[in-house]
Structures are given as C-alpha cells and as structure tokens.
Amino acid sequence: MNLERLRAVQAEEREADSLRPLADSFYREVATYLDELRSRRSAAAESADDPFGDEDVRRLTDEIETAEEVAEAIYERRVGKLVKRASLAAAGMPADEEGLTAEEAELFADLVDQIEAHRYEVLAAFEAGRSADAADESALDSSRAEAEGPLDATGGGDATTADEPGDGSAAPPPPPDEPTEGSATARDDDQVEPDDDTDDAGKDVDGTESTDGGGVEERVTLRITRDVGEVFGVDERVYDLSSEDVVTLPSANAKPLLDRDAAEKIS
C-alpha cells in the first residue's frame, strides 16, 4: 500500500455511483501502511540533529497526513453508498454484496437488520392506527343504529302497528259498518254507480217513494262534484260516491255533502 494507490482508489469512488470492488483487507492494509510511516518518522526524528527542521521528518509527516485524509475520504464515500445499498436490501430488493471489505460487510449486515426492524416498528404503528380507526368507526355505527331505532317498512322512524299508531298520528277510521248516523265517511278509491234500487226522482224502481219505518222519507237528487267514497245512508244503504255521479240520497245524508260543496242539487 502507498499514497499513489490510495489516490487511485479515491478517484474511482468519486467517479462511480456504485461501490468499487476492494480487497477484503483494504482498510487493514491502510492501517499497516500508516503505522510504517509513523515508525519511519520516529526513527528519522531520533537520528536528526533538529527533528522539527529535518527534511525527512517533514516529508514523512506530510505523507502521513495526506494518507489519513485520503483514506478517510474513501471511507466516507463508500459508507454513503453502503447505506443506500442496505436500504434497498431491507426493502426486499436485490443488493450485491460483492467487493465489500470485511469491515464493510459487517456494517452492511448490521444496517440491513436495523433498517428492517425499524421499518417493521413504524409500519406496525400505522397498522395499529388503522385498526383503531376501524374499531372506532364500528362503535360509532353501532351507537348511531341504537339511537335511531328500528326502521319501519318504508325505511323511516320507529315501526308502529295498525292497532297502535304512533304519538300524534290520527286513529284509523271506523269500519264502514259502524258509521255515525247522519254523517258521511269518505274513501279515496273505489267508485261505483248509484244504487240500482232507486231512480233519479227519488222513488223505488216500482215508482213509489222510499219509506223508513212506514213513513215517507224525503230524498234529494244530487250530482257529486268530487270523490267522497262510501256513505251509509239513514235508509241503511251504502252509497259509494264518486265525482260526476248522479244519485238520490235521503235529505239527512245529502245536506252534509251540499254544505261541504261535495255535491250540487239537481232541481
């Protein structure tokens, strides 16, 4: 080993981005070379009349200092490349370990282990955070579902049955066979023709006026102006009234329809 060899290695490392192959014993050879220079300087200093002014002592000192600087620059340059190669190996990428010195091979293996352990620790923390977020979201969904309660068939609000309406809802209308006398109950759908048992003049099919309990009952002929639905007449008949129907009703049932503008009286 000599100074020229050190300078050549330094030039190669500067020009290349990758590690240049070195002998396994390169750094030990550099250390031996420096030890020899120091020994020669000590011997020259002992034999010189003026050690500090002796030319051989100064020359050897300069060579020692230069060799140390070049060797250190080589080491720093190669360590930077070594760290990059170790990071690739820790990430599972192929990394060539050829051309490393014994010291560099040991450092390389240690760096790979350290980077892998550190990577696992950091990524495990990320995974734990994601798991915690998922657990919090699941708990929030459960709390929201409990607060909202079960949904009815239409997808909103608490479910209620037909027999148990929710608070503030209207009670279901009474069935057609239980009307209040003299009142009209409405249904939005089914439309039927007027009762076939009476004609437009308010008489039975045989031409006589309708009676209730043996007495003469006053009847009124109407034209229905909007859908009403079923009306239970005081004559115990059910009339299903739709818009534009012409029907003869007992006056007790006709009056509410006229008052509500649901029918017009036909003279």
DSSP state of 17: S
**Is residue 198 pLDDT above 50, yes or no?**
no
The topology under which CATH files domain 182-267 is Ribosomal Protein L9; domain 1 (3.40.5)
DSSP 184-196: ----SS---PPPT
Phi, psi angles (nearest 5°) of residue 204: -65, 170
pLDDT in tens, 205-246: 333 344 444 455 789 999 999 898 888 888 889 999 998 899
DSSP state of 182: T
DSSP 201-256: TSBBTTSPBPEETTEE--EEEEEE-S--EEEE-TTS-EEEE-TT-EEEEEHHHHHH
Rg (CA), the chain: 55
CA atoms within 13 A on the CB side of 251: 5
pLDDT in tens, 20-78: 999 999 999 999 999 999 999 999 999 888 888 889 999 999 999 999 999 999 999 99
Q: How far, in Å, CA of 155 to CA of 24, rounded?
A: 77
Helix (H, G, I), strand (E, B) or coil at 119: helix
The pTM of the full predicted model, rounded to 2 decimals, is 0.46
What does the pLDDT read at residue 216?
58
What does the pLDDT read at residue 33?
96
Helix (H, G, I), strand (E, B) or coil at 161: strand
* Residue ranges per structural domain of the chain: 3-117, 182-267
Residues in the chain: 267
pLDDT in tens, 122-175: 888 777 656 656 656 666 666 666 666 554 444 444 444 434 444 444 445 555
Confidence of residue 90 (pLDDT cuts 50, 70, 90): confident
pLDDT in tens, 100-121: 999 998 999 999 999 988 888 8
Task: Indicate the CATH number of 3-117 among 3.40.50.80, 1.10.3720.10, 2.40.110.10, 1.20.58.1030.
Answer: 1.20.58.1030
**Is residue 179 pLDDT above 80, yes or no?**
no
Taking Cα atoms as reference points, which of 95, 89, 93 lies closest to residue 111? 89
